[in-house]
């Protein structure tokens, strides 16, 4: 079992490392893109911060608490984007025949697709989210249980976004240009979960719990860490459910991926 998980991971790192080495040839452009990425995502949070100059709470949550939610989901999507974000290029890999090439190589296809042209500069997003998350964390009343919950939140959240990236990218096996549809759910979803869900109508929260379970990325675990009862009356055990949801999502994504690959039609020549 350990080997089943570890070997693909090692292969991923090997391929990614080679791309990192290759890209450092253009050192100046690497730093420009990294710093640029950091600033662009940074502006994002500045918006929320400015908002708090006119209001004192958002949906009943303080700036620090909103920052905690923002950092939680931001960290999860940034980690997912860093490691599997390349999959949104699946359609073009199919068109250019690159997927055919990858299919005749002995590394799991998903690993190859995700590690292809691995770009370390995407780490800028991770750093930005980490800064916000770290700043908010300084004000949390930490206990061992809450620390464990925070660790579980980041891991489960990343896995939920991993699964979404992969499952929605698989649409491209059937329709080549559906990358935007995937973005609506991943980055779009991340925008929603950057705010306390109390600002949205109850239907949105239900949708984010039962349909597209993004509320498990940061909302429910954060309620536990921030020591808040669920404002919408969901039972307390939903707050510890994130790992289960993450596993289920990963299972669904794997199934969709396998189905996509077996229905793959390749291109004409």
Partner 1 sequence: MGLIEARGLSRTFTVYKRSGRLNRTRTEVRAVHDLDLAIEPGEMVGYIGPNGAGKSTTIKMLTGILVPTGGHLRVAGVDPSRKRRALAHRIGVVFGQRTTLWWDLPLRDSFELLQKIYRVPSDRFRTNLAEFVELLDLGDLLDTPVRQLSLGQRMRGDITAALLHDPEILYLDEPTIGLDVISKGRLREFLRTLNAERGVTLLLTTHDLQDIEALCRRVIVIDHGTKVFDGALTELHRQGGSTRTLVVDLVDEAPPISVEGATARRVEGPRQWLSFPADASAAPLVAAVAAAYDVADLSIQEPDIEDVIRELYSRS
The binding site for partner 1 (CB under 8 A) comprises 11, 14-15, 18, 21-22, 96-97, 100-101, 103-108, 112, 117, 262-266, 268-269
Cβ proximity to partner 1, 20 vs 127, nearer residue = 20
CB-hemisphere CA count at 13 Å for 103?
13
- Provide the CA 91 distance to its chain's centre, in angstroms: 20
Among 89, 88, 92, 84, residue whose Cα is nearest residue 108: 84
Q: Judged by CB, which is closer to partner 1: 36, or 97?
A: 97
Nearer to partner 1, 103 or 184 (CB): 103
Any idea of the CA torsion for 66, 68, 69, 73, to the nearest 10 degrees?
A: 140
**Looking at beta carbons only, is 121 or 161 nearer to partner 1?**
121
CA 53 to chain CA centroid, nearest Å: 29
Q: How far is the CB of 6 from partner 1 (least distance, A)?
A: 15
Give me the DSSP letters along 174-241: HSTT-HHHHHHHHHHHHHHHTS-GGGS-HHHHHIIIIIS-GGGTTHHHHHHHTT---TT---GGGGG-
Using alpha carbons only, what angle is made at residue 139 by residues 133 and 142, rounded to the nearest 5 degrees?
90
Nearer to partner 1, 6 or 103 (CB): 103
Question: In the complex, what is the shortest distance from the CB of residue 108 to partner 1, in angstroms, rounded to a whole number?
Answer: 7
For 61, the 3-state DSSP assignment is: strand
Q: If DSSP codes are grouped into helix, strand and coil, which group holds residue 96? A: coil
Q: Whole-number minimum distance, CB 158 to partner 1, in Å?
A: 25
Q: In the complex with partner 1, which residue's Cβ is closer, 101 or 191?
A: 101
Q: In Å, what is the CA distance from 224 to each residue of 58, 146, 164, 231?
A: 18, 7, 24, 12
Q: What minimum distance in Å lies between the beta carbon of 101 and partner 1?
A: 4
Minimal distance in Å, beta carbon 197 to partner 1?
40
Q: What CA dihedral angle connects 203, 205, 209 and 213, to 10 degrees?
A: 110
Instruction: Give the residue with the Cβ less far from partner 1, 42 or 108.
Output: 108
Least gap, CB of 105 to partner 1 (angstroms)? 5
Shortest approach of partner 1 to residue 94 CB, angstroms? 11
């Amino acid at each position: 079992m350990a080997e089943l998980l570890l070997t693909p991971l090692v292969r991923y790192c090997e391929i990614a490392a080679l791309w990192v080495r290759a890209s450092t040839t253009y050192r100046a452009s690497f730093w420009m893109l990294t710093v640029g990425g950091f600033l662009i995502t940074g502006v994002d949070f500045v918006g929320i911060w400015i908002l708090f100059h006119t209001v004192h709470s958002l949906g009943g949550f303080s700036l620090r608490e909103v920052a905690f939610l923002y950092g939680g989901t931001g960290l999860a999507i940034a980690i997912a984007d860093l490691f599997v974000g390349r999959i949104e290029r699946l359609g073009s890999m199919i068109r250019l025949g690159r997927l055919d090439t990858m299919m005749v190589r002995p590394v799991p296809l998903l690993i190859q697709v995700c590690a292809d042209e691995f770009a370390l500069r995407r780490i800028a997003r991770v750093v930005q989210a980490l800064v916000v998350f770290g700043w908010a964390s300084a004000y949390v009343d930490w206990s061992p249980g809450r620390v464990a919950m925070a660790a579980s939140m980041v891991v489960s959240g990343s896995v939920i976004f991993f699964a979404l990236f992969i499952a929605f990218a698989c649409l491209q096996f059937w329709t080549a240009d559906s990358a935007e549809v995937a973005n609506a759910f991943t980055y779009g979803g991340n925008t929603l979960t950057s705010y306390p869900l109390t600002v949205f109508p109850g239907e949105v929260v239900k949708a984010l719990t039962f349909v597209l379970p993004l509320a498990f990325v940061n909302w429910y675990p954060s309620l536990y860490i921030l020591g808040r009862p669920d404002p919408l009356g969901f039972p307390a055990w939903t707050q510890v459910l994130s790992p289960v949801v993450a596993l289920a999502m990963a299972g669904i994504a794997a199934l969709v991926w396998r189905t996509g690959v077996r229905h793959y039609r390749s291109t004409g020549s």
